[in-house]
């Protein structure tokens, strides 16, 4: 099983490498005609360099992660860390939390320089970074605190259930984690998002009136329309809905308000409204619940498996180490689930695009897509294999062609 784990880790890196090499070739292609009004020769060259630098950065990070995992395995790291944690004399549950916590924060600290480089070198070089060192540090601290609280609660539940219920625990874990995911969808807009962004109700005016008129037109009940101070971190623009039921909010990046006209913003929100009206959020949650159940069921085959532990040189059987080792063998299935989930997501994105065209302006929506793509330096021509594996949205050129075809057909 040790050899299988190494093959999986190396295979995942080779897959990532292959995808990115193919994508690098596409970056060299000429500027699409749809974007000739948004890029001159110099800016397009800058865009190509930005994508290339991000791809190389991603590959270096992936290679280092693979190297660390393999080195830790062959160096007897799992057994050494397990013995040290057990020597502290805590219960099995607490030992599990400490063990996984050490692994998590070790990786966080190792890869922290990558986050710093990404933010303050790459994003800074191309004019996207607006994050100050103070904001960056505070964001890291908040993220870690949330990881301890939320991740700690979920992990405690899972370890405790498998300790007392054994192999039958997967059903209880499935139910418990699914309910917790649903709970997070309610509290995230109210508690978590405000930790990172300041939500300010947008002022009275043309934009607010246009959004309210559209919401009334399509029967969308909103708790509020808010502007968030994303410009403190990035110059990139976005918009999204948060919350469920009567707690739905519209959140607009302040960058978006500056870069798009009110009709263009309405067309973007019409797309997001399409996800709500077409029940994509619910469908996505159901898909997540199903895959979560599958993951917990498969885990039972790895739970306290003597052959598994022996192959990794670990003497003591435990639920927490079973869980950690399972994450390696789950990688191939994770790719399969990701492919299926992304396929559904791309399908839903086109349905939401159609909803936007049906209820707002297709020409404004195309212009908004072009502006956002150009402003954010999004990949204009990702390789089809990369789209198949990793993209939750269709490539922008495919979306534009789809929207124009809808307009022509109508």
Catalytic residues: 272, 353
Question: What does each C-alpha distance from 357 to 81, 284, 294, 353 come to in angstroms?
Answer: 56, 22, 37, 6
243 by DSSP, 3-state: which? coil
Dist CA 111 CA 63 (whole Å): 12
Asked whether 365 and 268 are in contact (CB, 8 A), the reply is yes
Helices (H), 192-314: 193-196, 206-218, 254-259, 262-277, 280-299, 306-311
Asked whether 103 and 80 are in contact (CB, 8 A), the reply is no
- Token output for 155: 């992990």
Q: What is the DSSP string of 352-407?
A: HHHHHHHHS-HHHHHHHHHHHHHHHT--SS--HHHHHHH-SS--HHHHHHHHHHHH
Return the bridge partners of 200, or none.
227
Describe the crossing of helices 319-329 and 280-299 by its angle, rounded to 10 degrees.
120
How far is CA 365 from its chain centroid?
A: 24
Helices (H), 120-253: 123-125, 133-146, 152-165, 169-187, 193-196, 206-218
User: What's the residue count for the chain?
Assistant: 410
Dist CA 81 CA 233 (whole Å): 37
How far is CA 167 from its chain centroid?
A: 30
């Amino acid at each position: 099983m040790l050899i299988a784990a190494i093959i999986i880790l190396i295979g995942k890196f080779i897959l990532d490498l292959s995808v990115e090499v193919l994508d690098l070739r596409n970056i060299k292609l000429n500027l699409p005609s749809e974007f000739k009004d948004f890029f001159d020769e110099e800016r397009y060259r800058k865009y190509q360099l930005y994508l290339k630098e991000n791809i190389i950065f991603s590959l270096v990070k992936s290679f280092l992660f693979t190297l660390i995992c393999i080195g830790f395995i062959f160096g007897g790291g799992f057994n050494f860390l397990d013995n040290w944690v057990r020597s502290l004399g805590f219960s099995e549950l607490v030992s599990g939390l400490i063990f996984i916590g050490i692994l998590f924060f070790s990786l966080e600290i190792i890869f922290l320089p990558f986050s710093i480089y990404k933010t303050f070198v790459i994003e800074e070089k191309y004019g996207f970074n607006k994050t100050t060192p103070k904001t960056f540090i505070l964001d890291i601290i908040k993220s870690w605190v949330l990881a301890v609280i939320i991740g700690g609660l979920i992990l405690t539940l899972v370890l405790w259930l498998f300790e007392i219920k054994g192999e039958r625990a997967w059903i209880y874990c499935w139910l418990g984690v699914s309910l917790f995911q649903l709970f997070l969808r309610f509290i995230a807009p109210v508690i978590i998002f405000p930790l990172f962004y300041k939500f300010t109700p947008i002022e009275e005016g043309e934009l607010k009136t246009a959004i309210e008129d559209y919401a009334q037109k399509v029967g969308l009940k909103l708790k509020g329309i808010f502007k968030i101070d994303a410009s403190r971190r990035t110059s990139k623009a976005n918009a999204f809905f948060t919350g469920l039921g009567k707690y739905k909010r519209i959140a607009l990046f302040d960058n978006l308000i500056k870069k798009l006209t009110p009709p263009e913003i309405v067309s973007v929100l019409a797309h997001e409204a399409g996800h709500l009206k077409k029940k994509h959020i619910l469908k996505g949650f159901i898909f997540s619940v199903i895959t979560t159940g599958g993951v917990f069921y498969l885990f039972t085959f790895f739970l306290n498996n003597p052959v598994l532990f022996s192959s990794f040189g670990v003497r003591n059987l435990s639920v927490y180490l079973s869980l950690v080792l399972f994450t390696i063998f789950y990688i191939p299935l994770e790719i399969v689930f990701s492919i299926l989930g992304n396929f559904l997501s791309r399908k839903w994105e086109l349905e939401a695009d159609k909803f936007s065209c049906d209820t707002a302006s297709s020409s404004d929506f195309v212009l908004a897509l072009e502006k956002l793509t150009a402003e954010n330096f999004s990949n204009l021509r990702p390789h089809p294999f990369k789209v198949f594996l990793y993209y939750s949205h269709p490539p922008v050129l495919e979306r534009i062609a789809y929207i124009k075809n809808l307009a022509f057909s109508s």
